[in-house]
Structure formats: C-alpha cells, structure tokens
C-alpha cells in the first residue's frame, strides 16, 4: 500500500494536515533532542521527511522502512549525508542490540502489524538510558470535538485524498486505522508493558496527534 502512495505521499501529508505536519515534525525533533554524535533510528521513516531534522542537529540518522517505494522516493531527492536509508522490518530490525542513542517512529506504529513486538524491537536496539519518541495520531479529549474530527476523517479526508492521490483505499484505511488506534493512556500502558520506563505524553493540535516519550531502563 505504501509503495503505491509513495509518489504523492509528502504532498498529501501537507494538504490533509493543512500544513500542521511540519509543526508536528518540529515537536518530534525537539522531543528526541538529538545531540552531535548521537545515532538516531527513525523507524517507519517513509520518504525520510522526519529523519532530516536529526541530521541538522549534528546527529547521524538511520531512516528505516520496509517499503522500497517510500525509501526510493527519499533517496531520490537531496538529503543530508548524515541520513542513511536502510530497508528493514520493524518486527525484526536489522540492527545490533543497544546500537542507538535514540529511537523514534512517526505515524508508523499504528501501521505495524504487531505493536508490542515493534516496541520490544525498538527497546532491544536502544542503549540503556536511551530515548524513545512515538508520534502518532490520537484522540481528542473532548467528545464533541472528537466526533467532529472523526467526521472529517471519514468524509472530507477520503474525498480530498481521492482527488489528489488516486488511491482511495489507502486513505479509507487511514481514517479507519486512526479511529481504531488506542487513546493516549492506553498507548502509554502498551509502551510501559514493552519494558520502557518514564513513559509520558503530550498532545499536539488538541490531541489530533500525541507525542509519547520513554526511556530504556538502565
């Protein structure tokens, strides 16, 4: 599915989020807090839009994804030398134990077939004391506002996506996967259950997106 939407993926992101995706990416970069010399894993990195931010902070970044279509799109455009694109599956990462100072996943965890396993893999490849940042669509705490938002997801979003992308199913899937995704507290519990500690979160854009942070114990 992601191979099929790769060509127009970044354009659609900007259009459907009304440009808010840029603010969310900035918040992710600040939460990751990459320092010069750090090695950061951006998992489910897609075309590498989020990975670039870590390289500008002086860190090296591995942008890993299992869609060759998305990776090809990313490598095909200019990107900092400190970003390396690697094909790999979140459920069986091709990296050594404790290899990274920080690991992050933006709008990817919801798409991975086994959330617990992906969180455990992320933990395995993070050094003790290293950081996790998960950026994912979430739920608005106010019920009425959330109902309005769900209406946008099931009506406006697929209609715009149909016009711009020509791939209606992918964007029907987007709406469904956001609706079925756990709310902020439940995701925090899942992260803790996968062995992460100091789990916290904050809402972005009223809870349309939530940023979860945690540390690998030790």
Ligand X SMILES: C[S@@+](CC[C@H](N)C(=O)[O-])C[C@H]1O[C@@H](n2cnc3c(N)ncnc32)[C@H](O)[C@@H]1O
Q: Which residue has the tokens 């099931």?
A: 154
Per residue, the 3-state secondary structure of 163-193, as one string, reads HHHCCHHHHHHHHHHHHHCCCHHHHHHHHHH
Q: Strands 83-87 and 60-65: what pairing?
A: parallel
Q: Which residues, listed in sequence order, are joined to residue 14 by a DSSP beta bridge?
A: none
Beta strand residue intervals within the chain, DSSP E: 39-43, 60-65, 83-87, 100-106, 126-137, 197-204, 209-215
Q: Which is nearer to ligand X, 105 or 145 (CB)?
A: 105
Residues 49-88 that bind ligand X (CB under 6 A): 49-50, 65-67, 70
Among 32, 60, 73, 106, binds ligand X (CB under 6 A): 106
Q: Residue 129: which region, alpha, beta or left (left: phi > 0; alpha: psi -120 to 50)?
A: left
Q: Does 91 bind ligand X (CB under 6 A)?
A: yes
Distance in angstroms (rounded) separating the CA atoms of residues 100 and 96: 9
- Using CB under 6 A as the binding rule, the residues of this chain from 142 to 171 that contact ligand X are none
Identify the residue among 7, 89, 150, 172 touching ligand X (CB under 6 A).
Answer: 89
Residue 200 backbone dihedrals phi, psi, to 5 degrees: -145, 165
Distance CA 129, CA 118 (A): 19
Kindly state whether residue 109 participates in binding ligand X, applying the rule CB under 6 A: no
Instruction: Name the residue whose CB lies closest to ligand X.
Output: 46
Note whether 111 binds ligand X by CB under 6 A.
yes
Among 74, 108, 130, 207, interactor with ligand X by CB under 6 A: 108
Smallest gap, in angstroms, from Cβ of residue 173 to ligand X? 10
Site for ligand X contains 136 (CB under 6 A) = no
Stretch that binds ligand X, among 43-51, 124-132, 160-168, 199-207 (CB under 6 A): 43-51
Q: Which two tokens stand for residue 63?
A: 């942008």
184 binds ligand X (CB under 6 A): no
What is the smallest separation between the CB atom of 142 and ligand X, expressed in angstroms? Answer: 25
Q: How far is the CB of 165 from ligand X (least distance, A)?
A: 13
Least Cβ distance, residue 67 to ligand X (angstroms)? 3
User: Which of 111/126 has CB closer to ligand X?
Assistant: 111
Listing DSSP states for 64-113 in one string gives: EES-HHHHHHHHTS---TTEEEEE-BTTB-SS-TT-EEEEEEES-GGGSS
Q: By the criterion CB under 6 A, which residues form the site for ligand X? A: 2, 44-46, 49-50, 65-67, 70, 89-91, 106-108, 111-112
């Amino acid at each position: 599915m992601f191979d099929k939407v790769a060509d127009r993926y970044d354009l659609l992101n900007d259009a459907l989020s009304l440009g808010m995706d840029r603010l969310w990416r900035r918040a992710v970069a600040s939460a990751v807090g990459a320092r010069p010399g750090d090695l950061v894993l951006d998992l489910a990195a897609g075309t590498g839009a989020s990975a670039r931010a870590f390289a500008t902070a002086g860190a090296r970044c591995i942008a890993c994804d299992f869609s060759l279509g998305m990776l090809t799109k990313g490598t095909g455009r200019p990107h900092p030398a400190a970003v390396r694109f690697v094909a790999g599956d979140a459920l069986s990462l091709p990296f050594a134990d404790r290899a990274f100072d920080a690991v992050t996943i933006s709008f990817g965890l919801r798409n991975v077939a086994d959330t617990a396993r992906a969180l455990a893999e992320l933990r395995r490849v993070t050094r003790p004391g290293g950081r996790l940042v998960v950026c994912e669509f979430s739920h608005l705490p106010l019920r009425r506002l959330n109902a309005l938002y769900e209406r946008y997801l099931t009506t406006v979003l697929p209609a715009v996506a149909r016009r711009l992308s020509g791939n209606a199913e992918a964007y029907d899937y987007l709406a469904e996967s956001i609706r079925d995704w756990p709310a902020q507290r439940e995701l925090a519990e899942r992260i803790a259950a996968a062995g992460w500690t100091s789990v916290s979160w904050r809402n972005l854009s009223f809870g349309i997106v939530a940023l979860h942070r945690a540390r690998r114990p030790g």
